[in-house]
Amino acid sequence: MVCVFKVFNITFIATKKSFFSISLYLYPYFCTLKFHVKIMKIFRIAVLSCFLVLSLNSCKKEKETDWKVEIKNPAEKIELTDISKEFYDVNVPLEQFKAKFPWFQGTVSDEDFAKNRVNPDEVKIYKEAISKIDHTKLKKELEDLFTHIKYYFPNFKTPKVYLFSSSLQMVQEPLLYDDKTNFLFIDISGFMGNNNPNYKGLESYFQKSMNPNNIVPKVSKLFAEQIVPFSTDHQKFIDLLVYNGKMMLLQDAFLPETPDYLKMDYDKKQYDWAVANEANIYNYFVENNLIFGDDHRLVDRFINPGPFSKFYTEIDNESSPMVGVFTGWQICKEYFKKNPETKLTDFLKMDATEIFNKAGYKPKLEE
């Protein structure tokens, strides 16, 4: 944030830090002038105006950190158990491996299971996938995530985390959570990076969220889905908007330091488009009477992942996908701006229409 002001045809550009240095520099000069009283009045006005602008901007920025909380009791430490490391290690006897991970073989025959261990293509994919993972960073970020979930939901139990490679078999659904055992499985072959040669033939819009830094936001979303109640009795578009908005708001609470575009499974360009067109998107929904509509096709057009959203206009190919999720998120954010005293757990139980009405969400179109 900068402040620009002009005195005697001299233009000064000041940041908050540098503004007072400029003030001290100018003060002696003004005092030597015969009509210093009048000039000092002008100077004081300039100083006050700029200070107010800078202060207001600082206040505005502080509102963006509402979900940053002080946590005194962090969740327990986790260990990342790499199943595939032992599976592809021929020095580990197969029977020993099966005894340690009895559920990993599934329905695969013993013969095929043994062959897979020495399959050069599978081994190559695993080695590339695991090389992309920063274990220390992932461990810390998952611990931070679980700590924030536990802060808002004290009954949350930190899961046992396993890494493995499906050799690209599960890349579109790379996470598995078993609530009975409280095991979380992360398929690292699903996070080797956008445009990875191994992903040839896979839709490009899927690949945008197949980077290592997408792991933790996807894990956060997985647990948000476990928390946010969903009723099949509510099928209006507003219910779907707010349902997804609630999950995104949990992303804010669980991942206060994570960039918003990662929470949306967007790349930066897609997120910037959604932000720039926020009012246009909402205006389209309103003008076409979609907010309280019950057309099931709206899910595919504006909620589900895809290459773009389907407005059925010439801008479709340029648009970001899932703009309904983005809009629902903004509605929920607006509700909390106007009702900051609401407890998160109470908010999740609220009816979508009530949230929408109390939010008063009306983004302004730029002139």
pLDDT, tens digit (0-9, with 9 covering 90-100), for 62-104: 354 378 888 888 888 999 999 999 999 999 999 999 999 999 9
* 213 plus 313 within the same structural domain: no
Q: Which structural domain, as residue segments, surrounds residue 41? A: 2-65
Residue 311 resides in a domain: yes
Q: What is the pLDDT of residue 367?
A: 61
Residue 125 pLDDT > 70: yes
Decide which of 201, 227, 253 is a domain's last residue.
227
144: left (phi over 0), alpha (psi -120 to 50) or beta: alpha
Residue 327 resides in a domain: yes
Task: Tell me if residue 6 falls in helix, strand or coil.
Answer: strand
Alpha helices for the chain (secondary structure H): 16-31, 36-62, 83-87, 94-100, 110-117, 120-131, 135-152, 204-207, 215-227, 237-254, 260-263, 268-276, 278-287, 297-302, 323-338, 344-349, 352-359
Residue 232 resides in a domain: no
Residue 165 resides in a domain: yes
Q: What is the pLDDT of residue 9?
A: 39
Q: How confident is residue 235, by pLDDT bands cut at 50, 70 and 90?
A: confident
Provide CB contacts within 8 A for 212, sequence distance 6+. 132, 133, 134, 138, 191, 193
Q: List the single range of 2-6, 107-111, 182-186, 281-285 with lowest mean pLDDT.
A: 2-6
Residue 74 resides in a domain: no
* 263 plus 164 within the same structural domain: no
* 110 plus 192 within the same structural domain: yes
* 88 plus 222 within the same structural domain: yes
* pTM for this entry: 0.81
* 136 plus 21 within the same structural domain: no
* 313 plus 283 within the same structural domain: yes
Residue 41 CB burial class (10 angstroms; 0-12, 13-18, ≥19): exposed
* 219 plus 249 within the same structural domain: no
Residue 186 resides in a domain: yes
Q: What is the pLDDT of residue 328?
A: 98
Average confidence score pLDDT of the chain: 86
Q: How confident is residue 234, by pLDDT bands cut at 50, 70 and 90?
A: low
**Distances from the Cα of 203 to the Cα of 102, 192, 209, 306, angstroms:** 34, 15, 11, 9
* 222 plus 243 within the same structural domain: no
| Domain count across the chain | 3
Q: Tokens for 254?
A: 């669980």
* 197 plus 255 within the same structural domain: no
Decide which of 170, 205, 227 is a domain's last residue.
227
Per-residue pLDDT tens over the stretch 346-356: 999 999 999 99
Residue 21 CB: number of other CB atoms within 10 A?
11
Mean pLDDT of 222-234: 87
* 130 plus 173 within the same structural domain: yes
Residue 73 resides in a domain: no
Q: What is the pLDDT of residue 21?
A: 39
Q: What is the pLDDT of residue 129?
A: 98
Residue 352 resides in a domain: yes
Residue appearing with tokens 């000041």: 14
Closest CA to 146 of 187, 182, 104: 182
CB hemisphere CA count around 156 (13 angstroms):
23
* 245 plus 222 within the same structural domain: no
Residue type, 105: Q
Mean pLDDT of 194-198: 96
Rounded to whole angstroms, how far apart are CA atoms 339 and 46?
36
Decide which of 33, 65, 97 is a domain's last residue.
65
**Distances from the Cα of 112 to the Cα of 93, 117, 289, angstroms:** 16, 9, 55
Contact 318, 308 (CB under 8 A): yes
Q: How confident is residue 45, by pLDDT bands cut at 50, 70 and 90?
A: very low
Per-residue pLDDT tens over the stretch 148-171: 999 999 999 999 999 999 999 999
* 94 plus 19 within the same structural domain: no
Rounded to whole angstroms, how far apart are CA atoms 342 and 338?
10
121 compared with 15, residue with greater pLDDT:
121
